Amino acid sequence: MAKQGSGSILQFAPLQSSVDEGFWHRLSSLKLNKFGIDDSPIPISGFYAPCSHPQVSNHLTLLAESLPSDSNDESTMPPVIRGNRNRCSVPGILYNTNTMEGFHALYKQGLLKAEAMKIWEDIHSGKAVEDCAVLSRVLLISFADLKKWNFHYWFAFPALALDPSATLVDLRPASQWFTLEEAESVSAACNEWRNSSVTADVPFFLVSIDSDSHAAVKHLKDLEACQRDGQKLLFAFYDPCHLPNNPGWPLRNFLALISARWNLKTVRFLCYRENRGFADLNLSLVGEALITVQQGWREQQCVPNAVGWELNKGRKVPRCINLAKSMDPTRLAISAADLNLKLMRWRALPSLNLEILFSLKCLLLGAGTLGCQVARMLMAWGVRKITLLDNGRVAMSNPLRQSLYTLDDCLNGGDFKATAAVRSLQRIFPAVEAEGIVMAIPMPGHPVSSQEEKSVLEDCKRLNDLIDSHDVIFLLTDTRESRWLPTLLFANSNKITITAALGFDSFLVMRHGPGPFNSIPNLKAETENSLAAGMDNLALTNTDGQHRLGCYFCNDVVAPTDSTSNRTLDQQCTVTRPGLAPIASALAVELLVGILHHPNGIFAEAEIANSSSGGNFELPLGILPHQIRGSLPHFQQMTLLGHSSNSCTACCSTVVSEYRKRGMQFILQAINHPTYLEDVTGLTELMRSANSFQLDWDDDIEVADDECVEL
């Protein structure tokens, strides 16, 4: 850039405002719950930072924490936040009127003059030297129409006007003003100043350079010591402006301080700007200005003229924003909940598919210890549609272990877990679309009478309909037999299924493989953007002839049967170490997210930790195992692989074929006849053959210990 200045008037780039929605939300809450009709001035704090982009200026921002807390027992002053390099605090005042007429009737020039007088008094008292943050101030007038959620507002950034104006002698990029040695030293000194929690948010400072080109950054109160040492001196400030030919607004009051406090005629200043958190001397500016004010201008009683009302599209008029849609607390909760997920896509996980997560329909079978934790983890990942199925009631022993319940849910015999869990989810996150289904899952080994058959068959059909209407199913029940019917229905419908099961000090988390009769549909182009198309793309891709992964029952050689009768109290309850359920639940949800982001979805091959085969795809979420088994006594977990069994009582082709042929009558026979599933799958014959197999032992031959095989 060519040298600028040569006697022209020094012109400053106006500061620009930005208001976060949370600020208006808290103001509304304060107005309704605390201030009422009291329209007294409200202290606020604004925040700004040095420019960090060559084409974009930083704004002065108001956040929710810019206002006082809405608690009645706390101070009316907003909290002072110090040490944040991206939040240089600017004190200010808010005048919020009760009517639109009152807003228009405010004496704006008088309010601006009053705030400018505070700056002038701080300059003469020395406070601005000790705490330079008071050199900048923000004035905001507003009217909040809480019926229509319209907010009328106008910002001012009070600035003391020099009389006459300062003359610009020179202005150029800092990299052209310093020598190479000086530039390197200045950058290092400024970076050190910015990285210290003590000085990171101190916006005005001195940069001194000695004869050896060594630079140091010092507080304003050290000016006289720098002048005595004869060092090259620059008055530096955090410049929010990006323009190459104009310094930012904070320099105005800085020059007023320099002239009134130290009576300097020639001032060299550094407009400090950054790039990616470090000093950028190509973007920063160094300038020289001449100050020749009239006699008496520096006197404390002669308050200079003030300027600073923000223009709205070049005109001196207030702004108006309508937040009827976004000011609803539910919408604010959605915005806040989505923030972490959206920030993941900035750098850590650019491929994160939020659209699938937001639209996913999850069915949780079981609303106990595991169900409560899984539901909360799903919401944290952005899942909004959750159905919980359970027929139990909340007992007094539940709230300590099952995070969605409280003592109130236990009273009067206890509420149904499914409905109580939904209420709790909606209190935590009002935007969740949660539904509770109070229903028992029909189980093999628990025969039903002829009078109960109709009701049981209706439950079976209802469970089948629920599975068909959801994208993902979590199997979180606490008995083995209660997992059989859902597993069969999953295998038939080919749904993504995650199982989590707990022992006393161990756990299992696994994903079920696809069903035995999966197919590859031809997706229509018009449905490619729908969730159904997205789920099909995840699940129904080329299987390459791989042996499918097993289900929860594939390693068993006996059919599920009654495991609840004739049990002691500790066997009837799920006795488990308290830390186990949160671990297993978190892994179950993370496993689901991994499936959703794998190109092969439900058909993805199983990977084992530390395995050399990472598949053909680069997976940003890591490996995708089949089973995760954990042990608390050893504080370890391992990933395992189990293929499907041709004799599985839940997912083999024989069982699924029988279900497709006979439907509910097949299920009823499996419920009422404990050995039926073993007979159908050939397990009965297998056991008979195993029992008839005999070993002939030769007692005369001794086998060496090292030849023994442990079975």
Catalytic center residues: 573
Angle of helix 484-493 relative to helix 653-662, nearest 10 degrees, comes to 90
Backbone angles phi, psi at 171, to 5 degrees: -155, 120
Backbone angles phi, psi at 220, to 5 degrees: -60, -30
Output the DSSP codes for 386-402.
EEEE---B--TTSTTTS
Between CA 522 and CA 534 the distance in angstroms is 13
Q: Rounded to whole angstroms, what are the CA distances from 477 to 144, 187, 292, 484, 569?
A: 51, 61, 83, 11, 18
Give the amino acid at 656: V
CA 329, 334, 337 angle in degrees (round to 5)? 120
Between CA 373 and CA 361 the distance in angstroms is 17
Between CA 500 and CA 316 the distance in angstroms is 63
Give the amino acid at 598: H
Phi-psi region of 213 (alpha: psi -120 to 50; beta: other; left: phi over 0): left
Instruction: Pinpoint the alpha helices (H) of 560-623.
Output: 569-572, 580-596
Between CA 220 and CA 193 the distance in angstroms is 14
Tell me the sheet residues that pair with 433: 385
Contact assessment for residue 272 and residue 153, using Cβ atoms and an 8 Å cutoff: no
- Nearest CA among 203, 528, 476 for reference residue 356: 528
Phi-psi region of 638 (alpha: psi -120 to 50; beta: other; left: phi over 0): beta
Between CA 146 and CA 29 the distance in angstroms is 10
Tell me the two tokens of residue 260. Answer: 């009134």
Contact assessment for residue 474 and residue 390, using Cβ atoms and an 8 Å cutoff: no
3-state secondary structure of 543: coil
Residue 514: Cβ-neighbour burial (10 angstroms; 0-12, 13-18, 19+): buried
Instruction: Pinpoint the alpha helices (H) of 156-221.
Output: 174-177, 180-195
Tell me the two tokens of residue 688. Answer: 């008979």
Tell me the two tokens of residue 564. Answer: 């609840």
Largest CA distance in the chain: 124
